[in-house]
């Protein structure tokens, strides 16, 4: 007897809403586990060419933990395209002034590149503080393994 591989279809996927508290969680471990939920790799119906993932809300992004001396040594770069247009910021500056952008950049790097990855990143909502705007979706608390 030959078994058939199940291929997920866009109209059959049921998406859930999850909320994750980033307080004192290591940045990389938090991002890798959230990326699995965004891509849908935690589901048995995962298909590589279909967006099977769920919606994720991350709160308290300003309280995320950085191990070692990453606060001083890790750098984030932006280039304007003009001569001398390189802007460099440390992870400490990013965490202090732009915690949402820091988490979004980290997660964007862990998602697939191209059309599918851009579709997945739209299901991510990051907030610096403890409040979020998606109470109407009744998100479940997602406990991450460490």
The arithmetic mean of pLDDT across residues 110-131, rounded, is 97
Coil vs helix vs strand at 47:
coil
Mean pLDDT over all residues of the chain?
95
List pLDDT tens digits, range 7-50: 889 899 999 999 999 999 999 999 999 999 999 999 999 999 99
Report pLDDT digits (tens) over 69-81. 999 999 999 999 9
**Which domains does the chain possess?**
16-66+98-141 (3.90.1180.10)
Contact 128, 99 (CB under 8 A): yes
Nearest residue to 27 via CA among 134, 79, 105, 85: 105
- Helix (H) or strand (E) holding 71, with range, is helix 70-73
Query: Which residues share a beta bridge with 77?
Result: 88
Q: What is the pTM of this model?
A: 0.92
Q: Is the pLDDT of residue 3 over 80?
A: no
């Amino acid at each position: 007897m030959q078994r058939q591989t199940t291929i997920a279809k866009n109209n059959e996927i049921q998406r859930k809403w999850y909320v994750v508290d980033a307080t004192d969680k290591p940045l990389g471990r938090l991002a890798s586990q959230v990326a699995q939920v965004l891509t849908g790799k935690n589901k048995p119906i995962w298909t590589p060419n279909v967006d099977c993932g769920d919606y994720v809300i991350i709160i308290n992004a300003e309280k995320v933990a950085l191990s070692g001396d990453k606060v001083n040594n890790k750098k984030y770069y932006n280039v304007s395209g003009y001569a001398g247009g390189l802007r460099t910021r440390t992870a400490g500056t990013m965490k202090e002034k732009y915690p949402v952008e820091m988490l979004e950049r980290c997660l964007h790097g862990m998602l697939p590149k191209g059309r599918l990855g851009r579709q997945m990143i739209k299901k991510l909502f990051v907030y610096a503080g403890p409040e979020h705007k998606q109470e109407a979706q009744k998100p479940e608390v997602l406990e991450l393994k460490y």
